[in-house]
């Protein structure tokens, strides 16, 4: 048995949000390698052409997920084109860092809208089709900020903690339909965005707090997604997989 057969992802329809860069791109590439049909959703309009360059079956959709009312039609478009959705990966997110005493309502609202509200209603819309299709996988990328407090991350921590508990509720309600719902909570990840913020002394200080002494790599997060999306993870639901090199245990 080869690895594609072992994971059972080959031929599945996988929707990945925030797919054009960073963790989302790593997830897309791995899912394509495992033989999935990947629908790349991103607010970067270049995602449509980018999907055509992937080494596998990929289709790009330009969409602003902050438009919550458009989410049902987005999901319906995928179902109409590919016949269903087997896996939804909620990866898109934003981080607006402000001291707790300085958080602005606009940044609070924007953070919760993209990081919590949009993933929730994407999951809800996808679940309707998954129920009709006999099951599926919903995986959301949260953060270590879902379980610990980080300075200047009040809105971000709130949004990610909310995503974890909302996923647990969905897991409890939808398990009977063959749908698993899980979250993955990484530490800092070595994406271009991560490197821009976590550099120099700030990065050195942060790495010193992580027992493994380094940040995570995008392909490490993608591998965890692949496992939770696979047939072998059918008994895992309502979990928050923390990939932080031990940061939250010390």
156 is catalytic: yes
DSSP 215: P
Unique residue bearing structure tokens 């596998």: 56
Unique residue bearing structure tokens 């860069």: 21
Residue 115 near residue 156 (C-beta atoms within 8 A): yes
Residue 88 near residue 139 (C-beta atoms within 8 A): yes
Give how far the C-alpha of residue 61 lies from the chain's centroid of Cα atoms, to the nearest Å. 16
DSSP 239: -
Cα angle 9, 67, 62; round to 5: 50
What is the helix (H) or strand (E) element at residue 220, kind and residue range?
A: helix 218-229
Q: Give me 175's structure tokens.
A: 């398990």
Helices 218-229, 22-33: inter-axial angle, 10-degree rounding: 50
Catalytic residue among 62, 156, 177, 197: 156
User: Whose CA is closest to 98, among 162, 20, 170, 158?
Assistant: 158
Pairing status of strand 57-62 against strand 179-186: unpaired
Reported in sequence order, the residue ranges of 96-209 that DSSP labels E, i.e. its strands, are 136-141, 179-186
Whole-angstrom distance, CA of residue 99 vs CA of residue 107: 12
Q: Which residues belong to the active site?
A: 156
């Amino acid at each position: 048995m080869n690895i594609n057969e072992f994971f059972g992802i080959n031929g599945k329809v996988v929707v990945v949000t925030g797919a054009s860069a960073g963790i989302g791109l790593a997830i897309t590439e791995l899912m394509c390698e495992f033989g999935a049909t990947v629908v790349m959703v991103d607010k970067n309009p270049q995602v449509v052409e980018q999907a055509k360059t992937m080494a596998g079956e990929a289709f790009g959709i330009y969409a602003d997920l902050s438009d919550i009312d458009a989410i049902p039609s987005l999901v319906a478009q995928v179902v109409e084109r590919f016949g269903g959705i087997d896996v939804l990966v909620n990866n898109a997110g934003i981080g607006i860092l402000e001291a707790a005493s300085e958080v602005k309502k606009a940044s609070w609202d924007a953070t919760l809208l993209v990081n919590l509200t949009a993933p929730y209603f994407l999951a809800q819309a996808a679940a309707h089709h998954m129920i009709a299709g006999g099951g599926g996988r919903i995986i959301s990328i949260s953060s270590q900020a879902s379980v610990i407090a980080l300075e200047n991350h009040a809105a971000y921590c709130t949004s990610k903690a909310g995503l974890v508990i909302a996923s647990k509720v969905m897991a409890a309600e939808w398990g009977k339909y063959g749908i698993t719902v899980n979250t993955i909570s990484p530490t800092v990840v070595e994406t271009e965005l991560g490197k821009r913020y976590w550099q120099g002394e700030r990065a050195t200080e942060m790495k010193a707090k992580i027992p493994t002494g380094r940040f995570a790599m995008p392909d490490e997060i993608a591998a965890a997604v692949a496992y939770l999306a696979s047939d072998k993870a059918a008994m895992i639901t309502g979990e928050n997989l923390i990939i932080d090199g031990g940061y939250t245990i010390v």
